[in-house]
Amino acid sequence: MSRSVKRLVFGLGNPGSKYAGTRHNVGYAVLEHLALREGLLFEPPTSLEKYFGPSALRCARSHDPDYLLVCPETFMNRSGDVVGPLLDWSGAEPHEILCVFDDIDLGLAELRIRPHGGAGGQKGVRSIIESIGTEDFPRLRVGVGRPETDAVRHVLSRFSEEELEGIEGAVAEAADAILFWLRTGDLQTCMTRFHNRWKEKGSAPS
């Protein structure tokens, strides 16, 4: 099969107005910020040539550099239903995709990039691992604050006015890092550069 796209970024979240702006949808927010900045529009999957997989997604395509931004709209815990078929369609390898998602184990607006790893309780990541059969794909975790009580209620809540400035800054920083990786394909340099930058700004754990 001919290669359809060089790299893919998946922003995880839940579809619908009920979940818009919630902590669980910060993956959507990062990709929407990046697309807006790069002048890309999200379109239905009918825009993808010879793609016949699940249609519950929206995507934004760039040709220079060559990449695809994807927001699965299957609900978080079924993200793999979209990621697996798109990975097959694209001709990319697992190390050529990057998943962006919320993390309650990081403080608010903290950012962390990793080349691989387990699901760590994140149901969207678990679904992707089950779908593509490996944990060896890059991911960018966005801290949404640690829950005081119920984790589910916390991730489905919206950010307070006091939290918004910090999370908006983190979304912009995450988009910067993703774009560097999309342009270079060099995850190790991306990790080194941005982890140092975020540590200096106080937006990355020590």
Provide, rounded to the nearest whole percent, the portion of the chain with pLDDT above 90: 91
Give yes or no for a contact between 132 and 80, defined as CB atoms under 8 angstroms apart.
Answer: yes
User: What is the per-residue pLDDT across 145-163, written as a single tens digit (0 to 9) for each?
Assistant: 988 889 999 999 999 999 9
User: What is the per-residue pLDDT across 170-206, written as a single tens digit (0 to 9) for each?
Assistant: 999 999 999 999 999 999 999 999 999 999 887 555 4
User: What is the per-residue pLDDT across 112-123, written as a single tens digit (0 to 9) for each?
Assistant: 999 999 998 899
The DSSP output letter for 14 is -
What is the per-residue pLDDT for 1?
A: 42
Residue 126 has pLDDT above 50, yes or no: yes
User: Could you tell me if residue 1 is inside a domain?
Assistant: no
Which residues are catalytic, by number? 24
Residue 101 has pLDDT above 50, yes or no: yes
**For residue 105, what are the domain limits?**
7-201
What is the per-residue pLDDT for 205?
A: 55
User: Could you tell me if residue 167 is inside a domain?
Assistant: yes
Tokens of 103: 């993390």
Q: Which residue has the higher pLDDT, 198 or 3?
A: 198
User: Could you tell me if residue 2 is inside a domain?
Assistant: no
Closest-CA residue to 197 (of 114, 115, 111): 111
Instruction: Say how many domains are in the chain.
Output: 1
User: Could you tell me if residue 132 is inside a domain?
Assistant: yes
Q: 161-184 and 187-201 are packed helices; what angle lies between their axes, rounded to 10 degrees?
A: 150
User: Could you tell me if residue 45 is inside a domain?
Assistant: yes
| H/E element, 167 | helix 161-184
For the segment 80-88, the average pLDDT, to the nearest whole number, is 97
Give Cα 202 distance to the centre of its chain. Answer: 21
Q: What is the 3-state secondary structure (H, E, C) of 46-110?
A: HHCCCCCCCCCEEEEEEECCEEEEEEECCCHHHCHHHHHHHHHHHCCCHHHEEEEEEECCCCCCC
User: Could you tell me if residue 86 is inside a domain?
Assistant: yes
User: Could you tell me if residue 36 is inside a domain?
Assistant: yes
User: Could you tell me if residue 206 is inside a domain?
Assistant: no
CATH of the domain at 96: 3.40.50.1470
Residue 86 has pLDDT above 60, yes or no: yes
Mean residue pLDDT across the chain: 94
